[in-house]
Amino acid sequence: QVQLVESGGGSVQPGGSLRLSCAASTSTYNSRSMGWFRQAPGKEREGVACIDPYGNTNYADSVKGRFTISRNNAKKTLGLQMNSLDPGDTAMYSCAATSVTYTRCSLAHQSFNYWGQGTQVTVSS
């Protein structure tokens, strides 16, 4: 089993920045792809960014150039640096991990098997 705990959400004005973190409890963290997803009220879950065990990344078009995903294998943490935030980024953000190891990552939520509880990000003036 993999347990994931997110932190770092909050409220920010448009144009501001936030950094999300996710702590994982698994001895096989290094071998799993990790991802960030978000879901706004009334909308479907959306893949935001993912990173595979090799450090390759994928981003949703809506966040390219503004968000950066990173992982620290020694600390078993996942990060998401979010810059130039706008109200459209308001959502519950969750981190996720795959059960299959050493695979390239996808932004499809069906590819991920373990989920954190989420952290709320609100962008408003």
Distance CA 68, CA 70 (A): 7
Which pLDDT tens digit goes with each residue over 39-91? 999 999 999 999 999 999 999 999 999 999 999 999 999 999 999 999 999 99
Which pLDDT tens digit goes with each residue over 99-116? 888 888 999 999 999 999
- pLDDT > 90? residue 6: yes
Which pLDDT tens digit goes with each residue over 82-97? 999 999 999 999 999 9
Which pLDDT tens digit goes with each residue over 19-29? 999 999 988 99
